[in-house]
């Protein structure tokens, strides 16, 4: 029952959000701010995590495929495939939920309890569109960039880990990374990323927007937003995978 009501509220909020902004120059200004907060400021964490994840994946593969009959290049190939299909789009999105989602929920939640959202409405602004739309647009546009960046750094991480440990000769790794490339995998990866970006930004916004009470509730909303978004990401990962890859 509670979930049904929440879904209803969420849908209504999204209808409010996806309306034409009142003033384009204000929307553009908000968009620039959000590109920075959601995208640019996430580059650091994306770089570190992706590099290490790539390394870990490569070493685990090397450890499991330790047979003289299987060419080492398989490790490069498999690392790439895993990064493109799952590690970068899904795992990274879930990590970014913690950063981006909690930030969005607490920012909007604080604006709610300090009456800033009421102030917007009184000034003739549609607060949903003013606050949430730029966050969704910024996420949907910037996340694919982050994920491609992540795939790239993950591959470098795999290369470095293979070379340093001596488990994967660099030349074999490079050959593997370039082998049997299926462009559709990248398309699939990008579709997932865009869906996840929308989920993170919209769910976190909804949780923040519907806060009632004080700072405790803002913290609660931020946690709720992250948990809900992560669960939805996994569910949609399964649905999209089923739809697109079978």
Query: In angstroms, rounded to a whole number, what is the distance separating the alpha carbons of residues 104 and 109?
Result: 8
Q: What minimum distance in Å lies between the beta carbon of 26 and another protein?
A: 6
Using CB under 8 A as the binding rule, whether residue 122 contacts another protein is answered as yes
| Candidate residues 118, 170, 235, 239; the one interacting with another protein per rule CB under 8 A | 118
Using CB under 8 A as the binding rule, whether residue 31 contacts another protein is answered as no
Nearest residue to 94 (alpha-carbon basis) of 245, 232, 240: 232
Cβ pair 102, 227 in contact under 8 A: no
Cβ pair 159, 57 in contact under 8 A: no
Cβ pair 145, 39 in contact under 8 A: yes
Using CB under 8 A as the binding rule, whether residue 216 contacts another protein is answered as no
| Candidate residues 123, 166, 184, 246; the one interacting with another protein per rule CB under 8 A | 123
Using CB under 8 A as the binding rule, whether residue 26 contacts another protein is answered as yes
Choice between 66 and 115, CB closer to another protein:
115
Choice between 170 and 214, CB closer to another protein:
214
Query: In angstroms, rounded to a whole number, what is the distance separating the alpha carbons of residues 104 and 222?
Result: 8
Query: In angstroms, rounded to a whole number, what is the distance separating the alpha carbons of residues 110 and 218?
Result: 6
Using CB under 8 A as the binding rule, whether residue 124 contacts another protein is answered as yes
Q: Which two tokens stand for residue 113?
A: 């309890």
Query: In angstroms, rounded to a whole number, what is the distance separating the alpha carbons of residues 16 and 181?
Result: 42
Using CB under 8 A as the binding rule, whether residue 9 contacts another protein is answered as no
Alpha-carbon Rg for the chain, nearest whole angstrom, is 21
DSSP 152: H
| Candidate residues 114, 145, 215, 245; the one interacting with another protein per rule CB under 8 A | 114
Q: What distance lies between CA 127 and its chain's CA centroid?
A: 24
Using CB under 8 A as the binding rule, whether residue 1 contacts another protein is answered as no
Using CB under 8 A as the binding rule, whether residue 65 contacts another protein is answered as no
- Of the candidate spans 61-69, 111-119, 167-175, 180-188, the one that interacts with another protein by CB under 8 A turns out to be 111-119
Choice between 36 and 178, CB closer to another protein:
36
Q: What minimum distance in Å lies between the beta carbon of 40 and another protein?
A: 16
Query: In angstroms, rounded to a whole number, what is the distance separating the alpha carbons of residues 175 and 96?
Result: 31
Q: What minimum distance in Å lies between the beta carbon of 131 and another protein?
A: 10
Cβ burial, residue 186 (10 Å; 0-12/13-18/19+): middle
Q: What minimum distance in Å lies between the beta carbon of 222 and another protein?
A: 17
> What residues line the site for another protein (CB under 8 A)?
22-23, 25-26, 33, 111, 114-116, 118-119, 121-125
């Amino acid at each position: 029952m509670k979930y049904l009501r929440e879904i209803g509220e969420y849908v209504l909020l999204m209808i409010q959000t996806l309306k034409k902004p009142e003033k384009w120059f204000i929307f553009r200004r908000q968009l620039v701010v959000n590109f920075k907060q959601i995208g640019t400021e996430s580059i650091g964490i994306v770089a570190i995590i992706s590099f290490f994840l790539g390394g870990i994946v490569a070493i685990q593969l090397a450890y499991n495929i330790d047979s003289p009959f299987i060419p080492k290049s398989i490790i490069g190939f498999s690392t790439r495939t895993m990064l493109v299909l799952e590690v970068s789009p899904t795992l990274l999105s879930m990590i970014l939920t913690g950063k981006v989602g909690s930030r969005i929920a607490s920012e909007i939640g604080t604006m709610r309890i300090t009456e800033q959202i009421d102030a917007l409405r009184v000034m003739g602004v549609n607060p949903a569109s003013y606050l949430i739309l730029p966050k969704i647009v910024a996420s949907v546009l910037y996340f694919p960039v982050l994920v491609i960046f992540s795939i790239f750094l993950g591959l470098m991480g795999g290369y470095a880990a293979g070379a340093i440990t001596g488990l994967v000769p660099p030349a074999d790794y490079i050959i593997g990374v370039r082998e049997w490339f299926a462009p559709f995998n990248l398309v699939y990866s990008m579709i997932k990323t865009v869906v996840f970006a929308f989920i993170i930004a919209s769910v976190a916004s909804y949780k923040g927007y519907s806060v009632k009470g004080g700072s405790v509730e803002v913290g609660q909303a931020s946690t709720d937003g992250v948990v809900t978004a992560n669960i939805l990401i996994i569910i949609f990962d399964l649905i999209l995978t089923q739809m697109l890859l079978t």
